[in-house]
Chain A
Amino acid sequence: MNQLDALEAKSIHIVREAYRSLGNVCMLWSIGKDSTVLLHLARKAFFGHVPFPLVHVDTAYEIPELMKDRDRLSLELGFNLIVGQNRAALEACETFPEGRVDRLTCCRKLRTEALRHTLSGEWPRLRMDHVRGELVEDTDSEPFTGVIVGVRADEEGSRSKERYFSPRDVDNDWDVDDQPPELWRYFKTDFEPGTHVRVHPLLDWTELNIWEYIERESIPVVSQYFATDGRRCRSLGCEPCTEAIDSDAGTVAEIIEELRSGSLSRIAERSGRAQDAEDGGGLETLRRDGYM
């Protein structure tokens, strides 16, 4: 069994385990490369079906083409799509692009808080209506007890400590100091009421693995990853906070070549994500708060 086969098998096992044991499960989908690989793995795990909804947190500053791809894929592949948003913060213009808050606070409001309240069902959610082919207000406000997320351990320090099944308590806290043991194929799947679980099937994948798998499985990904005029995005966030890197890689094969060549090996993958640079440990601060 080669490396990609082994990674794929483990991820599928984890996705199936989450579906079997966690009750009301959803999968977070950013339309980026990692969560799109995750979607493909779910379709493999369930033989073409996706038996849980995909949740997207729409910051309203997303790259417009991504939103078109999001709706199109949901309709084409027939999976349920749920969209959440921090409507209050947007109405009050409490965002970085509006100049009212710094990048980190903006992320916290538009992503972390929006996600938390979307998962809990406290804030209104939109749902894809497959008959009408558009998003409508969702009448269901059931909280999700499990959320499958495409984070990888090689992205940055705090993610390298994650468990495959990672509980968050009622206040959404991640108790890094006291994480449950996980061994062999046994994960923590029994939970006190009120806790919810983050499930991380891609934890052992590297950025290179992701691209090699995209190539092998011919998974379509959005065009922002491919270079035009010598620049491309390596990691996608909101439009105002995503910077392109210098690169000539215009195809999946060229991205793989670029990663293998080591020309990027000493630049952190999220270096184009401006919020990470704030406060010394921006991402970790966000993650303790519930950011993915």
Chain B
Amino acid sequence: METILNTTAEDAERLDIVVVGHVDHGKSTVIGRLMADTGSLPDGKLDQVRAMCAANARPFEYAFLLDALKNEQEQGITIDTARCFFKTSRRHYILHDAPGHVEFLKNMITGASRAQAALLVIDAQEGVAENSKRHGYILSMLGIRQIAVLVNKMDLLEWDERAFRAVADEYGEFLGRLGVRPTRFIPVSAREGANIVDRTDQAPWYDGPTVLGQVEEFERLEDDLDRPFRMPLQDVYKFTASSDDRRIYVGTIETGRVSPGDDVVFLPSGKTSTVKSIEVLSGPSPSEAYAGQASGFTLDTQVYVKPGEFIVRADQDRPHVATRFRANVFWMGTAPLVSGRRYLLRIGSSKVPVELDEVLSVLDASDLRSVEGASQVERHDVAEAVFVTTRPVAFDTADALEPTARFVIVNGYDIAGCGIALEALEARGANLTRQRRYATGSVDSAERSRRYGHAGRAVVVVGEPVEDVTQIAARLERRLFDLGAHSYFLGATDVGEERQVLDRDARLSNLGEIAWGMADAGVVLVTPVGDLDRFEIGQMRSLAAPHQLLVVGIGRGAPDLDADLEIASVTDPDEAVQAVLRALTAAGVLPEYEI
């Protein structure tokens, strides 16, 4: 038996291991044994569970140790992922006890995605279950490459080597087709504690390590420091109210490293700057930030970007920026993944509306056969599919950089699918389009212009500060009206918070529709919108087509907005309004003599 020696967090590493297996194949017993036989249980815990079993007239099982929750003991199956902590002389461990029942695959995935290695338990007597195969597939999709397969309940087969080999061969062949080479197959009897911590003499034909030995052999994968720098922008902090002038760009670095002086690019916006200093709570500013850190830095120039962008280094390979991509996806939502429905794609820190474009194939998890011709992805299916987003999104592909190829799909409020991007594709459709087509009457726009003395146009005022944006829009409406024009101010145009992107898209559609309608009616619509970005402005333009917009960009971020008129800073609002009037005249909306 392994003795527990002193280890410290500073020098010890910690390894997360997930334990998976079909229901009743003995997974919880394996963990119970591992904990008990390494002396990792609090005093009295074992006795407490034994007493509870006696009181309920049930035979004692090691599995009960883990089933800490009451309803779980009633059901007799692990329904969620429990963490068990233990340590050896080598390092610290968290064992994630993942549920085996097919109904609880989402919990299994939760546990497995935290792990760097897996123990997969198969009942020697029952053999490879369909769920065992599904688990193998999910582990491979989650990127877990260290898998030890425990062939359990060998005592029931009198430690028959041929029975062990049969399971090992069948499952090894299956994993091989997934491109996974299992680290090792270990014959065990968890109930008897054989080959878990203590070696049994009943299987002299097996010369590999025990389960504990194997656990100690798993390697901890280090963060990827030498691959291209990727930091999803989680937020931009400005604590000016507490008299702190720094503008700090924060996020957790997925891969690579960055130093002050490095040129960086924000994607998908394409904005660029240079890292000025890496910020910390106290002490000297570090010379470098690297993968795994929750970091934050300032830039040489003020860049107006929103959370959700990827920050990459200008001197390294870039991720793709696309609105269409091919991916492997595992679906766990109760409702199937269907086309024609808007979901939310989360990749890095971005949240973007997404639709299923096409199902290329659905994989039958039990025999790895591809089934073509499916139109939707059912719960617990694994599929290869094409997705299309309403706005550009930055991502890597699995072959290039796995951590930033991983995504989840949110249906309503719930994470319903997870996947990994395989290829960026050419754009096709799914931009915002006007929901309805309207019939118009016999009065055409030329007639209307003659009557009104000007053409119709939607003037969209964007930028910051929002007070300037609103003030200029309001003054513009008044000035136009006083000049005799048919002007109309529409200020109820909050397009919604950044994090409610589906809402935002819907409101943007609405606003585009109004812009089209008002311009078509020959009116000069003036609408302050505040925080539209370059891409959204492009969408507004296409929504209002065939009418044109006059986009007025206010503030220092204006050059990034692709505006028709830029006003860097508003010192004199009347002068700003006058500039807009000149632009309207130049565009032929207002006649020359009016201003």
Find the A residue at minimum CB distance from B295: A9
* A156-B68 CB under 8 A given contacts A20-B235, A191-B413: yes
B113 near A184 with CB under 8 A, answer: yes
Q: Beta-carbon contacts of A160-188 to B below 8 Å, as 1s and 0s?
A: 11010000000000001101111111101
* A206-B237 CB under 8 A given contacts A48-B281, A183-B110, A190-B344: no
**CA A211 to CA B85, docked complex, whole Å:** 16
Nearest-neighbour CB distance to chain A for B191, whole angstroms, equals: 22
Asked if A58 lies at the interface with its beta carbon under 8 angstroms from chain B, I say no
Asked if A132 lies at the interface with its beta carbon under 8 angstroms from chain B, I say no
B42 near A177 with CB under 8 A, answer: no
Across-interface contacts of A206 in B (CB, < 8 A): 85, 92
A6 near B294 with CB under 8 A, answer: no
Asked if A289 lies at the interface with its beta carbon under 8 angstroms from chain B, I say no
Asked if B11 lies at the interface with its beta carbon under 8 angstroms from chain A, I say yes
Asked if B109 lies at the interface with its beta carbon under 8 angstroms from chain A, I say yes
**CA A291 to CA B585, docked complex, whole Å:** 66
Across-interface contacts of B10 in A (CB, < 8 A): 2-4, 212, 216
* A177-B8 CB under 8 A given contacts A9-B292, A46-B239, A47-B281: no
**CA A165 to CA B118, docked complex, whole Å:** 24
Asked if A19 lies at the interface with its beta carbon under 8 angstroms from chain B, I say yes
Nearest-neighbour CB distance to chain B for A214, whole angstroms, equals: 11
A267 near B43 with CB under 8 A, answer: yes
Q: Which of A10-18, A68-76, A87-95, A244-252 contacts B (4 or more CB under 8 A)?
A: A10-18
B499 near A2 with CB under 8 A, answer: no
A160 near B68 with CB under 8 A, answer: yes
Asked if B242 lies at the interface with its beta carbon under 8 angstroms from chain A, I say yes
Q: Quick one: which of B42, B94, B244, B412 contacts A49, CB cutoff 8 A?
A: B244
**Of A1, A8, A203, which is in contact with the most chain B CB atoms at under 10 Å from its CB?**
A1
Q: Beta-carbon contacts of A256-275 to B below 8 Å, as 1s and 0s?
A: 10001110011110000000
A16 near B294 with CB under 8 A, answer: yes
Find the A residue at minimum CB distance from B106: A181
A179 near B252 with CB under 8 A, answer: no
Find the B residue at minimum CB distance from A191: B413
A176 near B80 with CB under 8 A, answer: yes
A: contact size bracket: 35 or more
Asked if A51 lies at the interface with its beta carbon under 8 angstroms from chain B, I say yes
**Of B42, B82, B294, which is in contact with the most chain A CB atoms at under 10 Å from its CB?**
B294
Find the A residue at minimum CB distance from B43: A266
Asked if B189 lies at the interface with its beta carbon under 8 angstroms from chain A, I say no
Nearest-neighbour CB distance to chain A for B595, whole angstroms, equals: 45
**CA A153 to CA B7, docked complex, whole Å:** 20
**CA A182 to CA B413, docked complex, whole Å:** 13
Asked if B280 lies at the interface with its beta carbon under 8 angstroms from chain A, I say yes
Across-interface contacts of A209 in B (CB, < 8 A): 9
Across-interface contacts of A12 in B (CB, < 8 A): 252, 294
Q: Beta-carbon contacts of A184-216 to B below 8 Å, as 1s and 0s?
A: 111011111000000000011010110011001
Nearest-neighbour CB distance to chain A for B418, whole angstroms, equals: 6
Asked if B332 lies at the interface with its beta carbon under 8 angstroms from chain A, I say yes
Find the A residue at minimum CB distance from B13: A3
B237 near A47 with CB under 8 A, answer: yes
Q: Quick one: which of B11, B248, B344, B346 contacts A47, CB cutoff 8 A?
A: B248
Across-interface contacts of A190 in B (CB, < 8 A): 344, 410, 412-414
Q: Quick one: which of B107, B244, B410 contacts A179, CB cutoff 8 A?
A: B107
**CA A43 to CA B282, docked complex, whole Å:** 10
B94 near A204 with CB under 8 A, answer: yes
Q: Quick one: which of B7, B71, B142, B252 contacts A177, CB cutoff 8 A?
A: B71
B9 near A16 with CB under 8 A, answer: no
A182 near B69 with CB under 8 A, answer: no
Q: Beta-carbon contacts of B102-146 to A below 8 Å, as 1s and 0s?
A: 000011011001000000000000000000000000000010000
Find the A residue at minimum CB distance from B250: A16
A9 near B252 with CB under 8 A, answer: yes
A residues 1-53 touching B (CB-CB < 8 Å):
1-6, 8-10, 12-13, 16-17, 19-21, 43-49, 51
**CA A176 to CA B406, docked complex, whole Å:** 27
**CA A283 to CA B169, docked complex, whole Å:** 46
* A261-B6 CB under 8 A given contacts A20-B499, A156-B68, A157-B68: yes
Nearest-neighbour CB distance to chain A for B297, whole angstroms, equals: 11
Across-interface contacts of B410 in A (CB, < 8 A): 190
Across-interface contacts of B280 in A (CB, < 8 A): 44, 47
List, sorted by A's number, 24 A–B pairs whose CB atoms are closer than 8 Å. Answer: A2-B10, A2-B13, A3-B10, A4-B10, A9-B293, A10-B294, A13-B252, A20-B234, A20-B499, A43-B281, A48-B281, A154-B85, A160-B84, A176-B79, A180-B414, A181-B107, A183-B110, A184-B406, A184-B408, A188-B415, A190-B344, A216-B10, A260-B6, A267-B42
Q: Which residues of A are in contact with B by a Cβ distance under 8 Å?
A: 1-6, 8-10, 12-13, 16-17, 19-21, 43-49, 51, 78, 153-154, 156-158, 160-161, 163, 176-177, 179-186, 188-192, 203-204, 206, 208-209, 212-213, 216, 256, 260-262, 265-268, 281, 284
